Amino acid sequence: MGAPRRSRRSRLIACAVAVTAVVIGGAVAPGAPAPAAAADAFRPQLVTVSTPTRADKDRLVALGLDLTEHAGHDYVEVVLHRAADQLALTGAGFDWQVRIPDLVERESEVNAANRAYAAATATSPLPSGRTTYRGLGAYEADMDRLVEEHPGLVRKVTLPHRSLEGKAVHGVEIAHDVDAPEDGRPVFLMLGLHHAREWPSGEHAVEFAFDLARHHGTDERITALLKKARVIVVPVVNVDGFEKSFNDGQLIDLRSVDEGGTGSILATPGNAYKRKNCRTVDGTAPLADECALASSPGGFGAGVDLNRNYGGFWGGPGAAAEPVQATYRGAGPFSEPETQNIRELISGRQVTGLITNHTFSNLVLRPNGVAPDTTGPDGLPLGDPPDEAAMKELGDRMAEQNGYTSQHSWQLYDTTGSTEDWSYNATGGYGYTFEIGPDEFHPPFPEVVDEYLGAGAYAGKGNREAFLLALENAVDPSAHSVVTGKAPAGATLRLKKTFATPTWSGSVTDTLDTTLKVGASGTYTWHVNPSTRPVVKARQIRVIGSEPLKRQTYTGTTAPAQRTEHTFTVDRDADLMEVRLDWPTPDDLDLYVLRREADGTLTEVGRSTGSVGEKERVLLDAPARGEYVLRVENWASVTPGWELTASLYDATTEEVSGLVENWTLSCEKDGKVLQQVPVVVDRGQRVKADLKTCAQKWGKE
């Protein structure tokens, strides 16, 4: 995905003037006179920060600011809640460009657009017909409505842990004969609203539930899928945080200002842009109203970032150690009831596919969350996941439906303790993050409709079709494993294993424990995840050769605001092409690499557009043979001399040995274990388990 070109150094406001807003019950008092200083006060804003290198991203993360999921290879978008945030950026030497200068005003504009859409639209094209965002109560009501309207197909799911404020967390399970005992079908899990302000993530999750329920029996594809799978949808994981974000967001109403009157404006939009949960003090539940009244701007400083709190590599890069930071990982892995809920849900089902929805950036992200050359807790590079080729193929197919970019999570920026990094590495079930929408946490509602159903070139596809592809992959036996055999009718079969999940500084104990009830036929087919976890499988590490296969150096000058091009021919097979641009001054040149196609057109295949003084470098894996154009652009250099070097390299792979793990399969009668056998099964395999001993003992019990 293309990144916005960073601006010249943004000017810092010399002094932030405090705003004394007139507030009644947390809302702006309509018609109240605006404080004289309000016009000059700092307003919360969304900015694009230039981060041309991984080191820059690491420095930005370390500042503890409110990073969004909208980022590219040379930029990250950040919410600045106060003048001190802006000072921190300047003090660290970052360049940035203001994209939304006043998030309070923008929230008011979105609210106005939503009112207009709802007034003009009786029923939207969404499966539910919804015309505006749901609050927490509306989610609960809609899930209850699905259960009531579709008996035998939809049932309510209550997760085991209440929120910090005591709220129950609910979802729905959708399947043909949904109330039947566990029967060996694979499970597909859809999640929304880990981050409170990302309202479309819950909307898309619950709309998929409506889609499946209302098209079962009339749509052959959906009907067949619901006979093969169980689908669980939890639209609001972070119920406390979302309630605060949604309620505060609805209160922002500047119509009195828009109509030429006077009105007070909040210095920050309350909790409308809250990211985290309601943990105010580690290990302690919040007091009544403590979360709603959190003093940090926008509520971003209070709470735990739930998408850094899962056990997989918890505490590593991209997760903050200090509670005041936006990506605070929590006191320990799975310290929060919200992540405990999802952990236990996944650990008690054979979840072969998972999508966790977020906003924004138009991305389909896959594991891992940390770059493959990062040295992990074991002292070795992490490498790519063992299922990288298959996960990439599915990610690419999903992205073809919605126009998003399919990529590794680490290509956004490093993250550890995220949902799918834990779920994939602990269970082997494929997991993805969808970053919904191009440029806002919760845009006007019509954009939610378009993202789900597709618009323009993607009309009729969108995230709906991408979700269906993910569900089809979840039921595909070639993408998971199958255990079959005979067992006494009525027996409970249990697959279980306990293991240590590596964190960045130790480990946490995980247990996967799933069951199946054998039917009257005395045979069973159980769709399960592989017995060996990806995190312990053998992996390959790439080592780049020290001597190039081919190297060519160019020197020249490029006048300000002009560009110079040279050609480089890839005339042999190579594993890597590296292009470096260097110059002797602290000025700013940019580098673009383009491939010449057979018809003579040029296709950009790489770019490096760093900040002032940052030298440029482009890496291309397995470059195709042919002619490449190396373009040098003088962005801001008064001394435009430079040196350009293109090189081809071979690479070797080294394999890090792994483990082979097994499931323990138990055959039980009334809670008593009659037989246990180990089961080793890999992805795409189908194995039979011998339970003759259980059958022999069954009649004697």
- pLDDT-based confidence at 24, cuts 50/70/90? very low
CA distance 272 to 281: 21
- Among residues 435, 465, 578, 633, which one is catalytic? 435
| Beta carbons of 595 and 603 less than 8 angstroms apart | yes
pLDDT in tens, 261-320: 333 333 346 788 899 999 989 999 998 888 887 755 555 668 999 999 999 999 998 888
Question: Which domains, ranges and CATH numbers included, belong to the chain?
Answer: 146-245+297-478 (3.40.630.10), 481-540+658-698 (2.60.40.3390), 548-649 (2.60.120.380)
CA distance 57 to 49: 9
- pLDDT-based confidence at 639, cuts 50/70/90? low
Query: 17: which DSSP letter?
Result: P
Q: Give the per-residue pLDDT at 612.
A: 53
More confident residue, 85 or 470: 470
More confident residue, 488 or 255: 488
Tokens encoding 288: 């009544």
pLDDT in tens, 356-374: 999 988 999 999 998 887 8
CA distance 213 to 95: 49
pLDDT in tens, 518-552: 999 999 999 999 999 999 988 766 667 778 999 99
Taking each helix axis as running N to C, give the angle between helix 419-427 and helix 337-347, from 0 to 180 degrees, rounded to the nearest 10: 30
Average pLDDT over residues 150-177: 98
Tokens encoding 34: 């605006």
Residue 16: is its pLDDT beyond 70? Answer: no
Q: Give the per-residue pLDDT at 386.
A: 92
pLDDT in tens, 646-685: 999 988 777 777 889 999 999 999 999 999 999 999 999 9
More confident residue, 640 or 166: 166
CA distance 417 to 309: 5
Residue 396: is its pLDDT beyond 60? Answer: yes
- pLDDT-based confidence at 82, cuts 50/70/90? confident
pLDDT in tens, 574-629: 988 989 998 876 667 888 899 999 999 998 887 776 555 557 777 787 899 999 99
Q: Give the per-residue pLDDT at 36.
A: 33
| Beta carbons of 318 and 59 less than 8 angstroms apart | no
Enumerate the β-bridge partners of residue 188: 231, 353
Average pLDDT over residues 497-513: 95
pLDDT in tens, 99-139: 999 888 898 899 999 999 999 999 999 999 999 999 999 99
Residue 12: is its pLDDT beyond 60? Answer: no
Mean pLDDT over each residue of the chain, to the nearest integer = 87
H helices present in 302-411, as ranges? 337-347, 388-402
Task: Please state, for a pLDDT cut of 90, what percent of the chain lies above it.
Answer: 65
Active site residue 435: yes
- pLDDT-based confidence at 31, cuts 50/70/90? very low
Which amino acid belongs to residue 623? P
